[in-house]
Every structure is written in structure tokens, then in C-alpha cells.
Chains A and B, each alone.
Chain A
Amino acid sequence: MTSIVSQALWIYFYITLIGLIAIAVYGIVVRPNLLKKIIALSILGDTANTFIIFLGFRRGGAAVPIIPTIKPTLEELLWFKETAVDPLPQCLVITAIVINMSVTAFLIALAIQLYRLYGTLDVRKAVRLRG
């Protein structure tokens, strides 16, 4: 019974991720407000990050990938091998978060400049104002 529940939860997780990507792409492409576009872009970045964190997870008995002692014994190493999650995805995510932050900051700066010049954040209206 629990396996069916956990299966259903995994499927739910996948559907959520795909749905979030769809929402984000819709927001970036269709919504005219620049701020909404930026929010959608953040959603997309975070979805990708969640997805790769999920890849590093191991089902059943996951632990932090840290060996607590300086000179580990064989048992500790074996325990580490059995339980540690993959640390690489977390490194990738940290890099990606920093990059997303800088891109978002840049886009917000552009949005401020757009508002100063045109008095609107609506991308469609800003195009019409071009002289």
C-alpha cells in the first residue's frame, strides 16, 4: 500500500515539475508585463534547480554527504557509500542560483530603465512608443 502511495507521490512530483516549466514558459512568452516575465523566468530557474536536486536524491536512507571523522574507519566509509546523497547536483545548483540571481538583477535594472523612459512596464506599449 505504501508503495502505491509513494509511486503516486513521485508521479505527482513529475507532473508538478512539468507543469511549472509550462507555466514559466507561458509567462515569459505570453505575459506582456516585464515584471511578470522576470518572475516566470525565476520560476523556470528554480524548477530546473529542484529537478537536479531531485536527481541527486536516493530513495531510502538518504544522508548528508559528509564523513564526520578526519580518519574514517572502513565501517564509516561503507556507511557513507550506502547512505550519502550525490553531492554534485548541489554544487551545480549553487552555481545556477548565483547565475540566476545576477541575470534577474540585470533584468530588473533594465525594467527600471524601461519604466523611466516609457512610464510603463508593458512590453507591447513600450514598442508602440518608439518614435
Chain B
Amino acid sequence: MEIYPPLPPIMIHSLALAPVTAIVSAFAMPLIGLTIKNRKVWDAFALTISTIVFILTGIGYATVRYLGKPFVYLLGGWPPPVGIVYEVDEFAALLGLVSAFIIWLVVIYGVKYFDSNEDGMEWYYTMLLGLEAGVLGCIYTGDVFNVFVLFEVLSITSYGLVAFWNRRGECIEAAIKYSLIGALATTIYFLAVTFIYASLGTLNMADIAAKIRGLFFPVTGEPYGSIALGVGLFLALSIWAFTVEAGVAPNHFRVLDAYQVSPSTVAALLSAVAANVGFYLLARYLITLLSGARAVETIVNAGLLIVLIMGLVSIIVGSFLMIVQSDVNRILAYSSVLNYGYVCLAIGLATPLGIIAALFHMINHAVAKTLIFLTAGVYVKASGTRRLDGMEGVGRYAPITSALMVIAALALAGVPPFNGFVSKLILYEALLEVNLAPLVIIIVLSSALSLLGYLKIIYHAYTKPPMKDYGKVEPPKAMLWPMIILAALCIILGVASPWIYDMFIEPAAHTIFETDKFIEVAYEFAEKLLIGVRI
């Protein structure tokens, strides 16, 4: 085991253990459901596992921070490019930590959110833990084919979660739409992988980055045929697949229905956690792997431009259509599309400041959007409908929840001192830095429009006099605490943003540009294959 840096074993193995724990427990869950017919045991199991995975991702983040360079974990002991490896830099580790944290809070919230007579909770937890494994695996892996496999794990569990209320026609409809287009996207990504393998003869990310730059990498041979053609097809197909997966306009139709009809916990997970995987992979492929290489410069620039334009379209579509909706979850779904637009725009800039804005906004959006979906879930549950005109005044029966919703709405709309404001401010700066001032106006206008959308929810649910006596609306403590933690984070990420920026965001975002380090760390392992050292 002397191949790894001298660290305690838990620090070395935590990053690989996190997705493995999640997927093993996901497969154990149906067995537990068969033998022990007690909902409380299932809840406790899912809570324990999600807590463990959250702690493991935290330890993993600490490891990567401590080492100060990407951490390579060899699965099965095979070094890259022969074996599948996890290659985790600070960007990935931070995103994994945030994802595991959000999932942990959503699991706590879900225990009381679903009624005690709800059918199929063991399957809910199975798919939720599977989703966690898929998300973490996609973020940590250093192999483009492994991305495909874990992308499928992530996708198929999210299809199942959307279809969770399988006796409701609308859920089945949304799940069909969601899964058909999703399956099309993942198959297209598989085609993209075949193109990169055909032209470069490798699937390892570090190896791909080295080959495109004309650097030597052991074992795999020379590139075959035209690099530009293979990489161009790879990039075109994978950009399409990732933007479909995330739900960026013009490919946003499938996510709208899914977020609208699925349980609030599921909508929060898909919008806050699953979508981030798509953006992470876009940034990883476009910037770490491909940008800066002479052979494919024009193609990568075209790809970045496409991502930027899709982001703009997303912002415009999301902000205008958001304000005309009358269904609370659909308003929030359009708000997700809008925020995906900001992230895509920031990634498309491909400047250091742009990536900082993208990462910060991904985190801020994850926190605030989870919070607003969970608070909206309380209203929907109490009033029995998602329509705004059916939940008038319900907020007055739940003052704490309503206060939390206002915090989330202001954070999403970008009002200081909440977190959304800070990341949008960085995005403005990034746009001004590359002389794209007109786009700043679009962002400000879209933020103003989106504030109208959020205010519409608050107006209907709080300001209007109650239609009827809703009874006890304020949720139990187990549902309130996750929301309070998220609201506190909204404020902390906003108020303490200079410190957060210096400590976490800026160094993490910087690693996505450090292609040399990314290649070098994997190369050190690959060298051992050349001299025949047995690991």
C-alpha cells in the first residue's frame, strides 16, 4: 500500500468508499425491506447510510485539500490507463461533499414528509441511495466510460424516483417523457465515448488530456486518424447529452414535468444534485481535458460558445415562462432552468472568474433550491394541491416555513445579503472582464423577472386571506430542522462570502484549469506499468 501517500487508511479509501457504500446499501435495501416489514428500520438504515456517506465525502475533501493535488485511487490495484481510476481534484471533492450534504438533509426531511402508510418506501430509499452512488461516482471518476456507467446509475434511479407515485397518471406520463429522452441522451453519450476511443485509443481522462496535447503517456498507443474529427464528434455528442441530462434549454422540456409532479424531495434532489453532475462534466471535459490544446482549439471554442448560447436561451426561456405559471412546482422548475442558464453561461466563458461563478452558483442554487422545494412541499402537502389558487393563505398557518421560503426566494432572486446575490455578482464581474456587458443587463432583468415569480408564490400562499381552515400545517421538527439548516447556509454563504470565497470556492475552481497537475498525477502511476513494478 506504499503507492499512496502516507495517510491514515480512512483518508485514502474514503473517496472510493463513499459511492461503494451507497450502492451496496442500495442493493441491501430491498432485502431489508423483504425481511423486516417496519418502516422505522428502513428510515434508520437510509439515514445511517446517508450520514456515513456524507462523513466519507467530508474526509475525502479533507484528504484532497491536505495533499494539494488531485488524488488518484486505483480500483482493483490497476494503474491508469489500464484500470478504472478515481481521480479527484478539489473541484470534484467539494461538489461531492455538497451533493452528499444535500442528499443527507433531504433524507431527514423525507422521513416525515411521506405518510406513514405510504407504499413502497423501501424502493424509494433503494433509488435514493442508488442516485447518491451515481452522483458521487460521476463526480469522482477519472474514466470516460465509467462516467457512462455511473451516468446510467444516476439516470435510472432518477427515472424510478420520478415514477415513485406510480398510481398517479401524471407521474407515469412525466416518468415516460423523462426516461425516454434520458435514455436517448445516455446512449448518445455512449456513442461519444466510442468516438474518443476510436481516435485516441484510451478512455482515461488524464490520458486523453495528454494525447490531445501531443504528450507521451505509457501503454496506450499513438492517436489514430484525425484527432480533430474524433474529438469534435465526442464533444458535440457529449455536450448534447449533458445539457439534456441537466435540463438546459432548449432541452428542458423533460425536466419541467418531472419536477412538477414528483414528490418535493425528489424534485429537490434532481434539481439541486443530479443537474450539477451535468455541469461538472461539461466543465471537466471542455476545460480540463480539451481547452488549451492546439489541435482542437477551434472545436473547443465552438463548444464553449454553444454552451454559452444555450445558457442565454435558458435564462430567457426560464425567466419569461416562470412568471406565467400557476403551479407552484412548475414555477420552481422554470426557476431551475433559469439558474442552469446562469451556470452554463459562466462555464461558457471559460475564464477563471467564470468557473468560480459557475461553482459558487451551483452550490448556492443547490442550497436555495432544495430549501424552496422543501418549503413548497409543506404547502402542497397541507393544501392537497399544487395549484396556487388552491393554496391561498396556507402560509399563515405555518409562520416558520413561510419565513424560510421567503429566505429561499430572496436568495434565488439574488437579493443581498443572501448567497444568490454573491454568485451573480461574480458572474457580472466575469462578464465585464471579457467585455460582454450587454449580457449583464439580461441577467439583471431575468433576476428581476424571477423575483416576480417567487413573489407570486408568497403572495398566494401568505398574503391572501386563507380560503379555509388548513388545520396543522407547520411540519414536525424532523422536517423543520433540515430546512432551518439550509436557510442558515443561505445566509452564511452570503454574509461570510469573502471568507468562503477565499477558503473554498477560489482554490477549488482553480483546480479545473490545472491540466498539467491532472495529467502528472496519473502519469506517476502509469510510469510504474512501463518499468514493470508490481503494485
A-side residues, CB < 8 A to B, are: 21, 25, 28, 34, 37, 41, 44-45, 48, 51-52, 55, 88-89, 92, 95-96, 99-100, 102-103, 106-107, 110-111, 113-114, 117-118, 123, 126-127, 129-130
Given the complex of chains A and B, what is the CA–CA distance between A50 and B184 in angstroms? 17
Question: Which residues of chain B have C-beta atoms less than 8 A from A28's C-beta?
Answer: 180-181, 184
Question: Which residues of chain B have C-beta atoms less than 8 A from A126's C-beta?
Answer: 169, 173
Question: Which residues of chain B have C-beta atoms less than 8 A from A107's C-beta?
Answer: 176, 179-180, 183
Given the complex of chains A and B, what is the CA–CA distance between A45 and B148 in angstroms? 13
Given the complex of chains A and B, what is the CA–CA distance between A105 and B428 in angstroms? 47
Interface of B is mostly: helix
* A52 in contact with B183 (CB, 8 Å): no
Interface of A is mostly: helix
Given contacts A28-B184, A99-B149, contact A110 B179 (CB under 8 A): yes
Task: Report the interface size for chain B: residues with CB under 8 A from the other chain.
Answer: 31
**Is B175's CB within 8 Å of the partner chain A?**
yes
* B169 in contact with A118 (CB, 8 Å): yes
* B156 in contact with A55 (CB, 8 Å): no
Chain B residue with Cβ nearest A51: B194
Given the complex of chains A and B, what is the CA–CA distance between A102 and B186 in angstroms? 13
Given contacts A52-B194, A107-B180, contact A130 B173 (CB under 8 A): yes
- Give the contacting residue for B197; candidates A37, A52, A118, A129; CB below 8 A: A52
Given contacts A41-B184, A55-B198, contact A129 B176 (CB under 8 A): no
Can you list 20 A-B pairs, Cβ within 8 angstroms, ordered by A?
A: A25-B184, A28-B184, A44-B187, A51-B191, A52-B190, A55-B194, A89-B197, A100-B187, A103-B152, A103-B156, A107-B176, A111-B176, A113-B166, A113-B172, A114-B169, A117-B169, A123-B173, A129-B169, A130-B169, A130-B170
Question: Which residues of chain A have C-beta atoms less than 8 A from B194's C-beta?
Answer: 48, 51-52, 55, 89, 92
**Besides the known contacts A21-B191, A99-B149, 10 further A-B residue pairs in the complex with CB atoms under 8 A apart:** A34-B176, A41-B184, A44-B187, A52-B190, A92-B193, A96-B190, A103-B155, A107-B183, A110-B172, A130-B169
* A123 in contact with B176 (CB, 8 Å): yes
Given the complex of chains A and B, what is the CA–CA distance between A99 and B181 in angstroms? 15
Given the complex of chains A and B, what is the CA–CA distance between A102 and B145 in angstroms? 18
Question: Which residues of chain B have C-beta atoms less than 8 A from A127's C-beta?
Answer: 173
* B160 in contact with A48 (CB, 8 Å): no
Given the complex of chains A and B, what is the CA–CA distance between A3 and B194 in angstroms? 26
B352: shortest Cβ distance to chain A, in Å? Answer: 35
Given the complex of chains A and B, what is the CA–CA distance between A95 and B203 in angstroms? 15
Question: Which residues of chain A have C-beta atoms less than 8 A from B145's C-beta?
Answer: 92, 95
Given the complex of chains A and B, what is the CA–CA distance between A113 and B159 in angstroms? 14
**Is B163's CB within 8 Å of the partner chain A?**
yes
Given the complex of chains A and B, what is the CA–CA distance between A7 and B156 in angstroms? 41
* A48 in contact with B187 (CB, 8 Å): yes
